[in-house]
Each structure stands twice: as structure tokens, then as C-alpha cells.
Structure 1
Amino acid sequence: MSDIPFTPPPYSQKRTTKSLERSAAWLVDILRPSDNGVHEGEEHVAQPNVIVHMAGGASIPARKAFAETLAEALYAKEAELLKPLKHLNDGILGYVFDLVPLRLSLKTENTISDVVGDDDLDQGNTTRPIRAQIADFIPLLKASLAPLPESKVRLVNSTSCPHEVLQFIRDIGVDLFDAHWAQRAADIGVALDFKFPFGEESLDTLQQAHGKRDIGHNLYDTRYALDFSRLASCFLDGASATDLATACPCAACSPSAPTSHISHSLLDSFAKVEGSRILPPYTRAYLHHLLHTHEMSSHTLLVMHNITVLDAFFAGIRSVLSQENGKERFVTEVARFEKEYDEKLTVFDQARVLWAEVERARGKGRLAREKAKQNETTLGTAVELE
């Protein structure tokens, strides 16, 4: 980890300099070889297993300076201490970028007036469009990576949508991403429904946002109360697919019957189980019901589904890049994905509103709140009649 200030940005030049110096000093301490298993006259060869958080905040010169620290030759005490390493970068497996503090810094620099909470930062939910945020990120990440070799692993944490993922791969060459945003989507009742490369079979009349398709379904919405289709239109379910490779294999879309029977009494102790088989999928209407009744299984099913959709998304990216003209086709497919899918994440904004309303109805005082809401509705109706 890097020395990242916990005070609100912007930061002074002195504070930024101290942050870079501390981060480099901690890295030296981490890479310092242990005496365990090293005999006299032998050299300890460190195995690169450290992924370094690239310090520097929203300052391009600071990011460049920290990256150059990793690449420059060791000397004096540090050279002797880390021997046989010639550079700090020799003991590093890769580089990691956390977008949460970057979003906060860039938001302050762009003088956005609205208040952004932790959940907003997780999802990239600021007043700046996703495309504008990525345009701010790109030069910062490039400044950190320019002095360093391309062979090292590049990891980005806290992306907010597939559009960001695709642009970081295309413009920066990022290798790894976390899946936090897909799990947060499940928390607010969104079932992901997108694929890469885009296919015409993903058309869904309920999946539209300002002329573009949503990347998922807000299952808190009452429109899904009687929607008995599978969670994702982009994939078949296990029960209806002739080839399981075209189906979503998650336990929500392709649930399977158990291979063994658990006896609950002597009456069913002789029941026979014929073997595992794929059952019909859980439907959007069923998940809508579970969400509104606060069943924990709703989020479990959504997380399994969303992570599976994300896994298929990355498999599609690898498939495109592995082709002979992979880079050119990847650029084309990214442009097509951006054209087809809503990058404003409208479905996420709508889901947060409905999720908050349902959460508010839970627990102590629920009946009183519902009665107050009913009275407000009744009073509003009376005023209109007058």
C-alpha cells in the first residue's frame, strides 16, 4: 500500500513529496531479504511477489517521479541492503491503481459542488460522465507506467462499469480488475445483462435507456413483478440450452437438482435420486419478490449471476484479443459496445432510489412510516380534488 492522505484534497507540495518518499521507503523495507534459509556466502534472490500501489495522486509530475524511483538504479545503503536487486522494480510483480482516491481528487480539482458518498465513489457516481472521468484517468495512469516495463502485471481496482474496463484495456493495457462493482450491483437489485463482443441476440425490449441498452435489470422495479423470463437475455438458461456453452452457468440461471437425498424422517428414507439435472431458471419476477420481502437469498442469487456475467465478459475480451488481428478487432468491438450500451448507468441510479425505499421500510417504525406515507398520499389526493 501507498501513503495516501486521509485528509480531503488538494494536498500541498510538501505533503505529496513526503507521501512519495514514505511509499518508496516502505517498499524498500518489504523487499529487504530475510535471513531465513540463506547461508554464509550465498545470495538471496527475491522472487517478485509484490504489487505496488502507484503513488502520486492526481499529479502527473508526482506520479512520474514515483515511477522513476522504481526504475532508477539502487545505490549506497539501499543497493547493499537489497542485493542482488539492481532496481526496486526488479523485486516487483506489478503495479496497482485504486480509482477511489483518484475520483475524490479529480472531483475536487474539477470543483464539483455536489456531495458524493462512499457508495457513489465505489460506483463512480459523480456528476461528471463516465467518459469524462476516464479521460482524466488515462494521462495519470500513463504517467505512472511510462518509465516502467510493459511486461509487469497491471491491476486496476474500483472500476464502475464495463465501459471503464474496456477503455483501460484499450488505452492503458491493464491486465487485471476486481469485481467489486458487479457485487455492488447485486446489492441494489441489479441483474447484469450484457456481453462482449456484442451480439444481436441480446436485444430486450425492457432493456432500453435513452436509445441504448441498459447493462442490467433493476429488479426492484414493479415492471418485473410479472416478468417470468430468465435474468439475462444475452445468455440462455441451462434448461433450455442445447449447448451448455451458450448458457449462463450460474446457480440462478442453471440451477441443478442435488445428486444425493437428505432424509428428514423415516418416511422418506427410501427416496431415490436419479442423478443431477438442470432445473428451470429463477425468474425476474421471483427475484423481484425476494428483494421486496428482504430475503437474503435474493442477493446471493444476484451475486452468483453477476459474477458469472462478468466472467463471461472477460472471457469474451480474451477471445477477441487472442485472434490474429485481435487489437484491431478489439478497438472495433469496444466502439460497438459503447454505442449499444448505456454508459450513464441509468439503471444503477434508478435501482439505488428503489433500493433505498425498500430498505427504509425495514425494521423498527416500519408501520408508522407506511402510515405516514399513506396519509401524505391521501392528503395530496384531497388537495387535488379541492
Structure 2
Amino acid sequence: MALSFELSPAASNPSKFGPRLGQLTYKNAISLPTPNLIAPTSRGVVPHLSRDNLLRTRSLSWVHVPFESFLECRPPILTLGTPMHEVLGFKRDRHIVSMSLRDLGDTREMPPNTGKFVTAWCVRGVKKVTPEDWKQHVAKAEPDVVYALVDSQPVTSQKRLMKSVERTAEWLVHLLKPTAEPHKIPTILLQMPGNQSIPARSAFARTLIEPLHPTEIDSLKPLELSCLNDAVGGYVVDGPTELIRASLDLLSVTKPRIAHSSSLTSDAANQIRGPHDMLKLIRDVGIDIFGAEWAVKLAQWGVALDFEFPAPAAASSDTYSGLPPKARGNGKQDLGHNLYDVVYRTDFAPLVNSQSTVQCPCIACTPIGRAPETIIRHSVVDSEPETSGNHLSHTRAYIHHLLHTHEMSAHSLLVSHNLEIISAFLSGVRHVLSTPDFENEVERFFEYYDSGYTSSSEVQAVVEKVAEVVEAVVAEAEGVTAGGFEVGVETGGTTPPVTAAVRDVGIGIALYDEARACWAEVERLRGKGSLKREKQVEDTETTKSE
């Protein structure tokens, strides 16, 4: 296989599901120490990152492309004869590019799959993709790594559950069979089906390791396989710990284990929401590669991550470094900063506290200036400054301003920053895994950083903010005049009744829910009816002055 994986026996837990260190190598050209991350893409682009900024983001060595976003064109753009590396602008010597049919972070409800096709979502609605279609798309797009088709939709009966297991195995066999036009099969990663059923997950694992019948072996030549598991380069898992263990218990420990996160939707069960969940999966399952969908979503909501592993010995009190992440009622710090909040309006500190051991190389914390000879100067106003020095980091106040003025560069800076922070976090994890202190450091991290609500009053405070935004948006959609309030802005207003429906839309982490409420309100204020709202505010102020 082009993708190889080697565990470090000295630093890995001897048990099947303990934490482990490894090295993932692609064609001896790209090497990733594990645990590490996969960057998500939308239509082949890492959200908010232009190609030059993508190349400057050092943490991006593996990017994942959902093929479904290209299905609105016939034929899809990635199948027109040019390898997807060249079409999408990725470097073969820097980026491993994987491809799946569905977006693994998309939790929307879809029409059911059948034995003949899998449903996928694109901008023109639902498309049906047959196993043969997928095989041809893979051959023409030429990804480095491909995810085999999986029937992983929610099921309501035992019969349907077993069908999903059988279909996934059949689709894997179809992908492996030779074609009239020989092509090189990329490394195959397999999503493990079975949903919430431990017996179904175990049954699928047994299917992979069962010896193939001689006729099946002949049908798969020139591949030399004794069982289907020989053709699998790694396992993609989801769900709680006990379900993941059921999927992996019978399978090889020498293949990489991958877990993608959802895009922080409230209806995603057992999703990876942050570093706490990542540490649990490293400790309890031995996950090697993590999807970074949640970090990209937080950047969209204006959150700049600011945490490290191992956790600091004590909370920082350095006022020069700017405001530390907010401390919750339990004394634990947030994982970052909600830069939509007005407290950052005059905070001219970098995104990471100066006392942090993290040296963030992102485009926000370590901006790179242009060479003097590349700058076009039109007048003396544009003359070169008398003194030159290192380019200072972009400040929290600056990005706060960009967010409230709807500048796209704000999200570019935050995506790059959040990905680098996760990369530094996993680098710290790898360092601690080489010592006997991993368990203690994990517990200390859990005690230092907040992972969710701890009191009903804290829940109520955040839910009220979300309720204001939700009810205002609904009221305006129905043509009702909304109250004059702004979440995260300095004006105030009355709080509408808090309903159970509003309570359900929360992610479960105060920082995330507050940031999402602020983001939604800023988006609402610039949307349809913004001029009418501004006029109402002006009329109110005029009335008060009279």
C-alpha cells in the first residue's frame, strides 16, 4: 500500500485500545507523526483559506474532500481527466488528499440507501450514486486515499441493520474488483457500519477477517488477498467508546484509526466537540487521526482557540498578555475567546496569551510581510518606513473589528489559527505519550479547561442569549417587528421566554453556544430588513432626545 503505518512499541500502550504513538507515511514522501489531524474541505477548499494561506498553514498535511459537492455537474469536475491534486491546487509533496462520497461532518437526514445506490447531497439536492459510479469517479479523480462506500444511515429494525452490514462488505468487494481499463487502486479506508448495535459492529468485523473463498480470491486478482481486511488501509470509526471497541476488537492493531467530527450540530450524537473528546478517544480507544471539522466551525463563529497540552500549572494573571480565556462558575477556563464579545474591543493582545508555551505559526499570530521589491509605491505616502522590524501579531481587538464589519479575512485568520492550535495540542500529546505521565496530564487538563455546563444558572444564562436570537429571527421571518436588542453588542433589551426548543439547539459548551448566539445576531443585523431596523433605532433615539 502507498500509505503505511508504523506504531512505536516503546511509547504505545501494550493493550489493544490504549494510547499509542505512530508514524504514518505516504510513498516515503509525506510523513505524519500520530496522533495528528485531517483538515476538512468544502468543494475542495479548506474553508476560508486561499491557496497561499493554505500553503502557509504548516499543520495541513492531510486534507479530506467530500466528492458529493461536485455532483451537480455532469460529469463532475474532478473526473475530467486531471488528477484532483492539480485541479484543487494541493502539493503532492506536502498534502495527502483523501476522498469520500459523503461529507463526514454532515449529519442531515437523507433519503434511504438501497442495495443499488447511495444517496448524496449537493447544491442541486439529493443525487444517487451507484457502486460502479463511485468506482469510476475514484479512478478518474486519482485521490491518494479513498473511503469505501458505507451504508451507515439510522435504521429501525434488525433486518435493515444486517442489510447495511452486508451492503458495506459488498461495496468494498466491488471497489476492489479489476476493471477492463486497469488503474491503480488508492489506499482504502473503511467506515465501520453497525450504528448503535454492538453485535452488528462485531459481525462486520468478523466479515472482514473471514478467509475468502477460492472463487472470490480469483475474482479479485491480481490482488493477493486472504481476507477483505488485507485490502483495508485503515478504519474510520464513530460513536461512543464501547461501540468503537466493538468495531475494532477483532481487527488488526497495526492499521490507523481515524475519527471525524461533525460540524457542531445539536443533533449529532457522540460528536467530537473539542480536545476533551479527543483525549478520551486517544486514552480509551487509541485513535490516531482526528478530523478538525469542529475547529473550522468555531472559526466561523468567531472563536479563537487558546489552550495547550499539558495544561499550565496555574491560571495566568499577566495583564499585559490580555484577557485570559473566561473562567466559568466551576473555576475552569474556556478553551478560547469569543471574539464577537465586546470585551475584546480594546484588547490589543495576540490571540494566544504571552505566558503560553505555544508558539503559534498561523497567519494571525506570525504574519509575514512582503519583500520591499514586490511593493508598488505610487507616492511619498507609500514610501518605505524609516524603521523595520518583525511584523506584529494581529490583535484580538482587530479581529473583533473584522468580525463585526463582516470582513472575510477574520475567518481566514481564525481558521488558520485554530488548526495550528490543534496541531500544537496534538504535538504536546505526542510528547507526553513518550513519558509515563499521560494519564495524569489528561486528568489535569480536564480539571483546568471547561468541557460543558456545570450548573443550571449557567445553562439559563446562555440559553437566554440563544433565545433572543432565535425568537428575533423567527419573528422577522413572520413579519413581526423584533425588539431592539443585540447579543454581544452594547445595547440591551428584554429577554423573550426560554423554551425547550431553544434549549435543544445548544452544543453543550458555554463558549460555543455564546459565540454562536453572537455570530447569529451579527448575521441577522446585516441581513434583510437591516435598514428598517437602523431607522427604528434612529427614530427611538430622536424621540428620547426630544
User: TM tier, shorter chain?
Assistant: 0.7 to 0.9
The verdict on how the C-alpha distance between 1:376 and 1:209 changes in structure 2, with shifts beyond 3 A counting, is farther
Corresponding residue for 2:332? 212
Hey, what's the Cα distance between the residues in 2 that align with 1:370 and 1:282?
31
Query: What amino acid is aligned across from residue 330 of structure 1 in structure 2?
Result: F
Q: Structure 1 CA distance, aligned partners of 2:164 and 2:407? A: 45
* Aligned ranges 1:129-140 → 2 under 5 Å: 137-140=240-243
Per-residue displacement from partner, 1:30-64 (whole Å, max 9, x unpaired)?
222457679xxxxxxx9881110001011111111
User: Contact (CA 8 Å) 2:308, 2:358: kept in 1 or not?
Assistant: no
**Of 156, 173, 178, the match for 2:259:** 156
Q: Does 1:13 align with 2:13?
A: no
Deviation by residue 1:355-380 (Cα, 9 ceiling, x = unmatched): 1100001133112234557889999x
Using the size of structure 1 for normalisation, the TM-score is 0.75
> How many residues were matched structurally?
321
Alignment RMSD (CA, Å): 3.1
| TM-score normalised according to structure 2 size | 0.54
What are the residue-to-residue correspondences of 1:207-356 with 2, within 5 Å? 207-210=326-329, 211-233=331-353, 247-264=359-376, 267=379, 278-323=390-435, 325=436, 329-344=437-452, 345-356=509-520
Structure 1 residues 172-230: Cα deviation after superposition (integer angstroms, max 9, x where no partner):
00000111111111000000000011123763655212211000000001111111111
Instruction: Between 23-32 and 198-207, report the one with greater CA deviation.
Output: 198-207
Give the letter aligned to residue 328 of structure 2: A
Tell me the residue number matched to 1:170.
283
Report the CA distance between 1:262 and its aligned residue.
3.2
- The separation in 1 between residues aligned to 2:159 and 2:351, in whole angstroms, is 52
SS in 1 for 2:364: coil
Q: Check the 8 A contact 1:260/1:273 in 2, yes or no.
A: no
Deviations 1:221-245 (A, max 9, x none): 1111111111112666xxxxxxxx8
Tell me the residue number matched to 2:230: 90
Task: Give the match's secondary structure for 1:220.
Answer: coil
Q: Which amino acid aligns with 1:95?
A: Y
Partners of 1:225 and 1:139 in 2: CA distance: 45
Q: 1:195 to 1:228 in 2, by over 3 A?
A: same
With over 3 angstroms needed to count, the CA separation of the structure-2 counterparts of 1:85 and 1:356, relative to structure 1, is same
Q: Distance in 2 between matches of 1:15 and 1:64?
A: 16
Q: State the distance in 2 between where 1:258 and 1:224 align.
A: 28
Structure 1 residues 263 and 14: CA distance shift in structure 2, 3 A: same
Counterpart contact for 2:209–2:227, Cα < 8 Å: yes
Quote how far apart the aligned CAs of 1:273 are: 9.6
Structure 1 residue 163 displacement after superposition: 0.5
Check 1:149–1:261 CA distance in 2 against 1; reply closer, same or farther (3 A cut).
Answer: same
User: Counterparts of 1:111-126 in structure 2 under 5 Å?
Assistant: none
Q: Kindly provide the amino acid, as one letter, of the partner of residue 93 in structure 1.
A: G
State the one-letter code of the partner of 1:349.
Answer: D
> Matched residue of 1:200: which SS?
coil
**Structure 1 residues 37 and 56 mapped into 2: Cα distance closer, same or farther (>3 Å)?**
closer
Provide the C-alpha distance between the structure 1 equivalents of 2:355 and 2:206, rounded to a whole number of angstroms.
46
- Are 1:191 and 1:306, in contact at CA under 8 Å, matched by a contact in 2? yes
**Aligned partner of 2:307: which letter?**
F
Inter-partner Cα distance in structure 2 for 1:161 and 1:196: 13
Unpaired stretches in structure 1, ≥5 consecutive residues: 39-45, 103-136, 237-244, 382-386
Aligned residue number for residue 362 of structure 1:
526
